[in-house]
Amino acid sequence: MSMLRSLCHLIMVCLLSQSQLGGQVDLFRADDGVVEFTSDAPLELIKANSKVLRGAIDPTENTFAFTIDVKSFEGFNSNLQRTHFNENYLETSKYPRATFAGKIIEQIDWDSEGEYQLRAKGILDIHGVKQERIIPSKVTLFSDRVIIRSEFSVALKEHDIDIPKIVAQKISEEIRVGIEITLYKQNSN
Amino acid sequence: MFFSLQTLYPLTNLYSNGLINKIFLRILLLVALSLCIITMSSWAQIPHFTKVDIAKILNTNLSVIKQDHRGFMWLGTEAGLYRYDGNDFNLMSNGSDSLAQFSITALYCDSSQIWYGCKDGSIYYLAQDQINHPYKPQEGLPSVPISGIVKDSQGRLWYSTYGEGVYVQTNDHVYNLNIEDGLLENQIYQMTIDPQDRIWVATDNGVSICQFTEGKKHIRNITRADGLPDEIVYSLCPSLTGMWLGFESNGFCHYSTADDSVDFQVENWQYGSVRTICQVVGNSLWIGTEDHGVLDCEFMHDGSLEMMRQIEETQMQECELIYYDQAGNIWFLLDQHLLFSGVGTLDILHHDLGDIQAVCQSPDDQVWVGTRKGLYVLHDGKLKYQQFPNENIISLYSDNNGKIWIGTFGNGIICWDPKTKRSLSLTEKEGLVNGSVFSIDGREDRLWLATLGGIIEVSNSKGILNGTRIPFKNLIAHTELSSNFFYKVYVDQDGKVWFGTDGQGVLNLTDDKVTNLLSEGLLPAKTVYCITEDDSGDFWFGTNGEGVFKYDGESWQHLGLEDGLSSQTITSIANDQSGHLIMIHEDGIDVYDPKNGTFRYFDENTGLDHLNPGLNVISAFDKESIWIGGQNSLIHYISDENMVQTYPSVIIDQIRLINEPIDYATKRKFSSHENFIEFDYVGIWYAAPQSVRYEYQLEGYDLDWKITRDQSISYSRLIPGDYTFRVRSVMNDQPILPTEQTYSFTINLPFWKRGWFLALMTLCAGGAFYGYQRYREQLISKRESIDRERIESQYEVLKAQINPHFLFNSFNTLAGIVEEDPDLAVEYIEKLSDYYRSIIQFRDLKLIPLDDELVLIDDFTFLLKKRFGKNLLVRKFIDETDYYIPPLTIQMLVENAVKHNIISRQKPLTISIRSENDEYLVVENNLQPKKTQEPSTRFGLQNIKTRFEILTKKKVVIEENDQSFSVSIPLIKRKDIK
């Protein structure tokens, strides 16, 4: 696990740091992916989304990294809810980013267009708690871009996100997360 | 690493596209194989087998086999999952739609589910309901073939893949362990779990041992650097102390988990890659190779390899899988289309020497065989002639000086030294009381012989070949027996000597003192053929026709046919290291486990011919490997501590109710029309599936057990009641009681016969009866009140009519007209008398027709009119007269009107009698009450009311206002008369 962790860290640094931009390899990149989450609790349905998902895929290494500014989530049912989300639950000042980075299990030819069902194995870091996850995604390959659609669930207790008992009926223990992102091939140099 | 995938490991063919159809696993052949374990390179032949051609039956190739806890064998093929019960193959996966999807590459059976993984990475499980459930983790499924499935003690599912490493399903997520996590390779050939719950996977770079605890992956690798003789590991097999590893080119080794090192490795391997390893009972190991067939390895107690030999029948073939099942059968999955199954604990060598009459294993591990034509020794898998061609050898004994003592029939005893080839024959001439030596046993340098002339003790046997005088001592003198026939001598651990006699019971010789157990009343056995002492110091005696006796020095126990023994005559007996008793009889071998009271039978079903055994045909010098002689066969029995399954188990496979399968674990109550029930049951006995018989009984229907070969029975039109279906297997015409399976069920009574309904009905009937009684009582009281009212009314009416007033008035009227108009007077008198006659006539009746009442009213009106003239007007408006009324009702109302009202010229009284809506008859008069009211009892009206209440629901309505007074009385129709 620690091996995978350090690998993921490396991937993060490599793929997302600006210094890599002048790079030697073709990457797929995007800064405007959409993340949406849904909490479907018995008493309340909460939805929020963010359009600032950044991501990169290195097809030669089969690695990937995604990150999002947690503060950027909008929606919710009230402003107060959003404040609670940022200050109490996700503690965004302490943990401003959520990330998912790792390796794609399937080996595919990134040059052949088409639709693939891929599984991404990596470390999901939410609220400062790292969890290894395998997340299946639908990947559509074009010559110049790749569209990734994925849905998965995040159990709050796995990421040490404590919900006060008094609102337990209003916030689901499992949050459904959906992402859609189009990454464009970066030309070398 | 790469080249090995393509060139050296044919399993990759299975995974590589386009090669699926390559000739591969065509036929399934089940053979009860007899194979030797020790010191021999080959056997003469395979005696007993069954063949099933799987290509013809299933039209597909077989990849994996596993047995479930019930005994069914599951076959993973390239076209789905099949269940095999020894007779039938049943397709269990719904694999007809997509063959690729159900090309099965891994199988796992737990107590309730069958898991199978496919070539495309999909995984399914078959639950009790026999429905294929796809395994669908939210993390998605692998896209490469599944190479292994296993569950650990925490119930977590592990599956290995060929290309993506290993996955483990925990309660929360599926985790992947691959090369990035430290796994040696992502291509896993085999996966297995050790007793410490660790997952071992075989790869091209060695073995990875995986654990997953508290969200953390632990992977430890064993590679060539750790002492493995080869890096490419194909096969794994857990042992008690570690793991057997099979390699691509350097054979196999054993890795000890205690000291984390290789503690055994095979030298000079010449058999190519090891595809599969299977550890069977004892220290034997089966190795399946890529193109050298199956190898059988036997280990010494110190862990060194005792011998290794190739199984001739599998030579030049690829063995993919070896499986040892619960019943002790060995299954070989051979690439060249064969699957063998056999009894793993029994090997049979066939020969043509006729009856083997004595068997003896000497301390130097030689197996000696005595026949009618001399002495033979087992050498190189064959019986080799040794000595004494003319001797009819009936007993053999190997002493601790390496000499063989040979007892003959009629020619005395021969002492022979195999090393020096020197021999000495001792016959009656040398002082032997009898030349027929049936049994020899000894201790140190003393020997005892059982002969047809008594018991001989030979002391100082050591120097016999050096010319020492042989001190024969005839012990028969010490006894007072009527017969001198002795069959058996046995020296126990304490040095006591036991003798089996012909009809005289068992004799015990302790410190030169002879005790006869039969005459002393200690043991009832009479003719005793064989004796053995078990590890706990109990003695076992096999008899002629009396079964087996166990004697602990004080009391005895009997073992007979009723306990499951195959024959009452046991000619040879021995006990093995597992504490089991091996008993030889005419038709085979019974192995008895005294702890559980269970038997395992070896007979023609397991490949034994008719044994025709002599009295000395068992040698248990090595209690782990026992030699048994028979007619044209020499049998090697290997002690099997587990002796897991000793008879065909029986499984109730399906129960159908009116042709529909039911969940018989829960459903046990049926309604009355659900009375057609079918039972499918299976007896699992792969060694000889055709020989399985069953007996069944439906308690509550069948009066007795019925024996059948069928595996299905149906019952129709069962009447309501409680039933128990019982079925068990039968062997040697004896029911095998522990195999019994039962299913109890109830067919309910139809609802109209059930208690609650009957209770309800009783209640209803009671209620109805009570109601009727009440009604009757009411009716009677009503009648009584009607009668009373009527009598009262009659009385009133009579009283009224005999009222002097009326008579006075009537007579006054009459007096007035009698002179003026005598005719009218006559008519008046007639009417008056009619009136009175009518009253008398009607008064007893309940109801009279309205017509009759109206006639009466006419008469009455006539009489009144004569008195009041035009001052009284009585009008009738009656449409329909088909009604009934109580008698004198209208008369009473008219009379009331006349009685209470002024009738004068100024104030004429008009009484109208009319019918209204066919419902009521209204008697109305204009109201002009007399100032001086005649005394009124109000009886008349009240009487009318009461009478009508009894007769009809409609009420009598009395209306009174300033102008008029009216009484409406209900008209009673003819049909309403109660």
Name residues 47-76 of chain A within 8 A of B (Cβ): none
Confidence tier at B632 by pLDDT (50, 70, 90): confident
Residue B884 scores a pLDDT above 70: yes
Residues B678, B249: Cα–Cα separation, whole Å: 55
Interface mutation vs chain A, best among B161, B167, B171, B173, most A CBs within 10 Å: B173
Per-residue pLDDT, B321: 86
Per-residue pLDDT, B130: 74
Pick from A71-80, B461-470, B501-510, B782-791: least confident = B461-470
Confidence tier at B16 by pLDDT (50, 70, 90): very low
Say which residue the tokens 């060694």 belong to.
B687
Residues B573, B551: Cα–Cα separation, whole Å: 14
| Nearest residue to B399 (alpha-carbon basis) of B462, B336, B484, B469 | B462
Is B178 at the interface with chain A, CB within 8 A?
Answer: yes
Pairwise CB contact (< 8 Å): A155 & B138 = no
Residue A17 scores a pLDDT above 70: no
Per-residue pLDDT, B338: 56
Q: A48 CB contacts (<8 Å, ≥6 apart)?
A: A36, A37, A73, A74, A75, A76, A82, A85
Domains by residue range for chain B, with CATH: 62-134 (2.40.10), 137-247+255-266+275-279 (2.130.10.10), 348-638 (2.130.10.10), 649-753 (2.60.40.10), 788-976 (3.30.565.10)
Single-letter amino acid, residue B971: L
Pairwise CB contact (< 8 Å): B217 & A153 = no
More confident residue, B949 or A140: A140
Pairwise CB contact (< 8 Å): A3 & B181 = yes
Residue B425 dihedral angles phi and psi, to the nearest 5°: -100, 130
Residue A186 scores a pLDDT above 60: yes
Per-residue pLDDT, A123: 93
Per-residue pLDDT, B805: 66
The per-residue DSSP string of A75-143 comes to E-S-HHHHHHIIIIIS-TTTS-EEEEEEEESS---TTS-EEEEEEEEEEEEETTEEEEEEEEEEEEE-S
Interface mutation vs chain B, best among A2, A10, A134, most B CBs within 10 Å: A134
Q: B786 CB contacts (<8 Å, ≥6 apart)?
A: B846, B947, B950, B951
Per-residue pLDDT, B675: 85
Assess contact for B617 and B339: CB atoms under 8 A: no
Assess contact for B139 and A136: CB atoms under 8 A: yes
Per-residue pLDDT, B473: 76
- CB < 8 Å to A134, chain B: 139-140, 173-176
* Average pLDDT, integer, range B902-922: 86
Distance of CA A56 to the CA centre of its chain: 11
| Nearest residue to A127 (alpha-carbon basis) of A166, A164, A87 | A87
> pLDDT over 90 for what percent of chain B?
25
Summarised one tens digit per residue, pLDDT across range A110-157 is 888 999 999 999 999 999 999 999 999 999 999 889 999 999 999 999
- CB < 8 Å to B164, chain A: 105
Q: Is B368 helix (H, G, I), strand (E, B) or coil?
A: strand
Q: B426 CB contacts (<8 Å, ≥6 apart)?
A: B412, B413, B414, B415, B432, B470
Residues B329, B340: Cα–Cα separation, whole Å: 9
Pairwise CB contact (< 8 Å): A133 & B143 = no
Per-residue pLDDT, B787: 79
Confidence tier at B149 by pLDDT (50, 70, 90): very high
Interface mutation vs chain B, best among A8, A11, A105, most B CBs within 10 Å: A105
Confidence tier at B39 by pLDDT (50, 70, 90): very low
Please list the helix, strand and coil fractions of chain A in percent, rounded to the nearest 5, in that order: 20, 50, 30
Interface mutation vs chain A, best among B122, B136, B139, most A CBs within 10 Å: B139
Among candidates A1, A3, A134 on the partner chain, residue whose Cβ is nearest the Cβ of B139: A134
Per mean pLDDT, which of A124-128, B409-413, B507-511, B785-789 is the most reliable? Answer: A124-128
Is B786 at the interface with chain A, CB within 8 A?
Answer: no
Tokens of B231: 């890096």
What's the mean pLDDT when you consider all of chain B? 82
Partners of B933 in the β-ladder: none
Per-residue pLDDT, B47: 36
Confidence tier at B177 by pLDDT (50, 70, 90): very high
* Average pLDDT, integer, range B935-960: 77
The Cβ of residue B47 has, within 10 Å, a number of other Cβ atoms equal to 20
CA angle B210, B211, B212 (to 5 degrees): 130
Per-residue pLDDT, B510: 85
Q: Provide the total of helices (H) and of strands (E) in chain A, helices listed first.
A: 2, 9
How far is CA A67 from each of CA A72, A75, A84, rounded to the nearest angstrom?
12, 19, 21
Residues B663, B654: Cα–Cα separation, whole Å: 8
Is B173 at the interface with chain A, CB within 8 A?
Answer: yes
Residue B786 dihedral angles phi and psi, to the nearest 5°: -60, -45
Q: Is B831 helix (H, G, I), strand (E, B) or coil?
A: helix
Is A136 at the interface with chain B, CB within 8 A?
Answer: yes
Interface mutation vs chain A, best among B176, B183, B212, most A CBs within 10 Å: B176
Burial environment of residue A75 by CB neighbours within 10 A (0 to 12, 13 to 18, 19 or more): middle
Per mean pLDDT, which of A181-185, B296-300, B624-628 is the most reliable? Answer: A181-185
Summarised one tens digit per residue, pLDDT across range B434-457 is 888 999 998 888 888 888 888 888
Residue B106 scores a pLDDT above 90: yes
Residue of A nearest to B121 (CA): A106
- CB < 8 Å to B142, chain A: 105
Residue B539 dihedral angles phi and psi, to the nearest 5°: -105, 145
* Average pLDDT, integer, range A93-119: 91
Summarised one tens digit per residue, pLDDT across range B528-555 is 999 999 988 899 999 999 999 999 988 9
Residue of B nearest to A108 (CA): B143
Single-letter amino acid, residue B238: P
Among candidates A1, A105, A136 on the partner chain, residue whose Cβ is nearest the Cβ of B216: A1
Single-letter amino acid, residue B377: V
Per-residue pLDDT, B756: 84
Handedness of CA B150, B156, B157, B163 (dihedral sign): negative
Pairwise CB contact (< 8 Å): B139 & A135 = yes
Q: Kindly provide the ipTM of the predicted complex, given to two decimals.
A: 0.88
Residue B961 scores a pLDDT above 60: yes
Confidence tier at B607 by pLDDT (50, 70, 90): low
Per-residue pLDDT, A50: 93
Tokens of B564: 């499951």
Per-residue pLDDT, B800: 60
First vs last C-alpha separation in chain B: 111
Single-letter amino acid, residue B972: I
Name residues 196-215 of chain B within 8 A of A (Cβ): 215
Q: Minimal Cα–Cα distance from A4 to chain B, Å?
A: 6
Assess contact for B868 and B874: CB atoms under 8 A: no
Assess contact for B624 and B576: CB atoms under 8 A: yes
How far is CA B516 from each of CA B181, B260, B480, B505, B526, rounded to the nearest angstrom?
77, 60, 9, 7, 11
Residues B681, B655: Cα–Cα separation, whole Å: 9
Per-residue pLDDT, B783: 84
Summarised one tens digit per residue, pLDDT across range B354-409 is 888 999 988 888 889 999 888 999 887 778 888 888 889 999 999 888 889 999 98
Report chain B's C-alpha Rg in angstroms.
55
Among candidates B140, B180, B217 on the partner chain, residue whose Cβ is nearest the Cβ of A134: B140
Per-residue pLDDT, B340: 61
Residue of A nearest to B211 (CA): A1
Tokens of B46: 């395979």
Is B176 at the interface with chain A, CB within 8 A?
Answer: yes
Among candidates A4, A119, A134 on the partner chain, residue whose Cβ is nearest the Cβ of B181: A4
Residues A99, A15: Cα–Cα separation, whole Å: 12
Among candidates B176, B215, B216 on the partner chain, residue whose Cβ is nearest the Cβ of A134: B176
Q: Minimal Cα–Cα distance from B115 to chain A, Å?
A: 22
Domains by residue range for chain A, with CATH: 2-18+29-185 (2.40.128.110)
* Average pLDDT, integer, range B564-571: 89
Q: Is A16 helix (H, G, I), strand (E, B) or coil?
A: helix
The Cβ of residue A42 has, within 10 Å, a number of other Cβ atoms equal to 9
Per-residue pLDDT, B344: 59
* Average pLDDT, integer, range B86-97: 73
Among candidates A7, A121, A158 on the partner chain, residue whose Cβ is nearest the Cβ of B176: A121
Summarised one tens digit per residue, pLDDT across range B239-271 is 888 999 999 999 999 999 999 999 899 888 989
Per-residue pLDDT, B561: 87
Pairwise CB contact (< 8 Å): B140 & A119 = yes
What pTM value is reported for the model? 0.63
Residues B66, B86: Cα–Cα separation, whole Å: 14
* Neighbour-count burial for B21-32, b at 16+ CB within 10 Å, e otherwise: eeebbbbbbbbb
